[in-house]
Structure 1
Amino acid sequence: MEQVPETFAAVLADYERHLVSERDLTPHTVRAYLGDVSGMLAHAAALGSDSLDDLDIRTLRSWLANQQTRGKARTTMARRATAVRVFTAWALRTGRASADAGAQLGSPKAHKPLPPALDQAQARALLEAAAVQADDGSPVGLRDVAILELLYATGIRVGELCGLDVDDVDRGRRVVRVFGKGRKERTVPYGLPAEQALARWLETARPTLAVAGSGAALFLGARGKRVDQRAVRSMVHRRLADVPGAPDLGPHGLRHTAATHLLEGGADLRTVQELLGHASLATTQIYTHVTTERLRQAYQLAHPRA
């Protein structure tokens, strides 16, 4: 975070408290927001501004242009523009500024690549291979199968998965209660294969790994504590390495895969948006490009006059 004048430092401290206590953002997101805003305020101070009322659209555009000359990616610039718009709107709403300077600030359009995803045969091969390897009854193997099945069945984020408690799973209704970004709660259904994998994990394997400090965590690491996101990412990469032709994906790739297969199976965008916990439908629409691209590839392979 860049150094800013004292008048701006006090505002930044208030803004940090707002992000943490009122918006309940993760520490990583809070650091990113504060870093972006402090960079803008340092630029404004260098241009002679010493209060939020001095901010105007020219100052903000000058700051963005400076980012471009320093070689920042379009995605980075778009994120920083968003962070500043959120900050200036908060400053006006709380009476710390008399105008919202960021309201007119546009964002550079990011080139969104199509997210990689497994095809249905590769997803099936991943889950079947993991199940075969878990036939020896090892607790970690059974846990891995349950994690893979749940990630693919629900499309939840890896952080959401690792934060699940045993009571968040309603096995009778086959739904899981998930706390997403901003602690927003949603209920996501899962299928019979995931239920069978969860049953083996909860009834056979979890009790053997549980220790005094396990608490209510649904998934445990080898030492009995709540499983770590890095361990889940490493496991997914390792398991996928055994699937011939599969791209090297992490848990987020399984989230993309779940969304893609839902749309290919006929689910509508609004349903997929709700299941994934996207705040905006625009975020979910990337998956329509994925399915269209697959349709085009299939057409080119199959049609005699493609």
Structure 2
Amino acid sequence: MKTIRSESVALDDLRELLPDWQRHLRATNKAPSTIASYLRVAEQFLGFLVQEGMPTTAASITREHIEHYLVHLQDRPNKRTGKPLSAAEVAKQYRSLQQLFRWLDEVEGEIESSPFAKMSPPAVPERPVDVLTMDQLRRLLDSCKGKSFENLRDTALIRLFVDTGARCGEIAPLRLENKAEDRPSDLDFDADVILVMGKGRRPRAVPFGARTGEALRRYLRARARHPMAARTDAVWVGRKGPLTEWGIRQLLKRRAEDAGVPNVHPHKFRHTAAHEWLANGGQEQDAMRLFGWRSREMLGRYGASAADERARNAHRRAALGDRF
């Protein structure tokens, strides 16, 4: 972590406190990706305070300073797209900073009360989740037809993504049995589940269907003959070794371009799986467990999207406009 420092700072300055927050997050077993995200936001906030000549000691930072930062975020263009940050991205930064000041208040006692105590998160306009159609899914799988190693691997990956709705950060790290480490495989073909580590370091078993299981077994037979097979227990491998999350994202992007399907990314498969589950009458409580949600906020988003589809289907069945 590259903390912004000067030659002399107060002990309650964020430049001194952020490394301790990082240690606290690690001690509470937060996922490395969560820690990195929290610290990235905190560093950006600290950089803004320094740039604007605002106080950086914990007790001196007020609600007004945070609100100035949130307005700054809304006006600042995204480095990748050149567009202003979305309301959802600003709200994510709000929640990250809220965790920092909760730690300063409730754990460390560095402040009398959190400046977030009387604040509300930025409103995020509700919009339907973006999902793949059945035709688009078929086109993606058609782009993987063939018996080459890459085709078998990518077919298994796409089927696993859409069948389980698991996150890329849950599917990418899957491992096979490692006898030397006395560790079982993350693929359980007796129960037809994958064993993943979800957000908040919460493990769960996610089921997959018969066709996905068949695609996985076919890929694993090809993997066993791959040059990398003896060098790693990672399920997903490429020419140079295990596939990272980034590698899987790039792989899916290439397949989408071949298939002529726009805006494909790993989370879109999750959107699709959750949407289809709820649209087809799946129980909400089951969805919470299957998709690893602790809050009903996400359930509400996908539920609204599925309810819209059910309403459209009901309207077509009623065909009121065709009766006269």
Q: TM-score range by the shorter chain?
A: 0.7 to 0.9
- Offset, 1:301: 5.6
Q: Relative to total residues, which structure has the larger helix share, 1 or 2?
A: 1
Report the equivalent of 2:284.
269
Task: Sort the Cα spacing of 1:105 and 1:10 in 2 relative to 1 into closer, same or farther, 3 A.
Answer: same
Pairing partner for 2:231 from 214, 237, 241: 214
Pairing partner for 2:19 from 8, 13, 16: 13
Pairing partner for 1:156 from 151, 166, 174: 166
Q: TM-score, normalised by structure 1?
A: 0.84
- Offset, 1:184: 1.9
Task: Sort the Cα spacing of 1:252 and 1:111 in 2 relative to 1 into closer, same or farther, 3 A.
Answer: same
- Offset, 1:300: 5.8
Task: Sort the Cα spacing of 1:53 and 1:31 in 2 relative to 1 into closer, same or farther, 3 A.
Answer: closer
In the alignment, structure 2 segments of 5+ residues that lack a partner are: 77-83, 177-184
AA partner of residue 149 (structure 1): R
Instruction: Answer yes or no: is 1:174 the counterpart of 2:181.
Output: no
> Do the aligned partners of 1:169 and 1:175 also contact (CA within 8 Å) in 2?
yes
- Offset, 1:30: 4.0
Task: Sort the Cα spacing of 1:264 and 1:69 in 2 relative to 1 into closer, same or farther, 3 A.
Answer: closer
Report the equivalent of 2:180.
none
Pairing partner for 1:282 from 272, 297, 312: 297
Instruction: Answer yes or no: is 1:231 the counterpart of 2:247.
Output: yes
Identity of aligned residues (%): 24
Deviations along 1:198-240, whole A, 9 cap, x unmatched? 11111x20112243773211111133x1112233223323334
Q: Tell me the matched-pair count.
A: 297
- Offset, 1:159: 2.0
Report the equivalent of 2:119.
105
Secondary structure in structure 2 of the residue aligned to 1:101? coil
> How much is the aligned-residue C-alpha RMSD, in angstroms?
2.9
Cα distance in structure 2, aligned partners of 1:291 and 1:283: 12
> Do the aligned partners of 1:12 and 1:38 also contact (CA within 8 Å) in 2?
no
Q: TM-score, normalised by structure 2?
A: 0.80
Cα distance in structure 1, aligned partners of 2:172 and 2:243: 6
Report the equivalent of 2:321.
305
Cα distance in structure 1, aligned partners of 2:67 and 2:27: 30
Report the equivalent of 1:83.
96
- Offset, 1:182: 3.2
Instruction: Answer yes or no: is 1:187 the counterpart of 2:205.
Output: yes
AA partner of residue 206 (structure 2): V
Cα distance in structure 2, aligned partners of 1:231 and 1:67: 30
Task: Sort the Cα spacing of 1:40 and 1:18 in 2 relative to 1 into closer, same or farther, 3 A.
Answer: farther
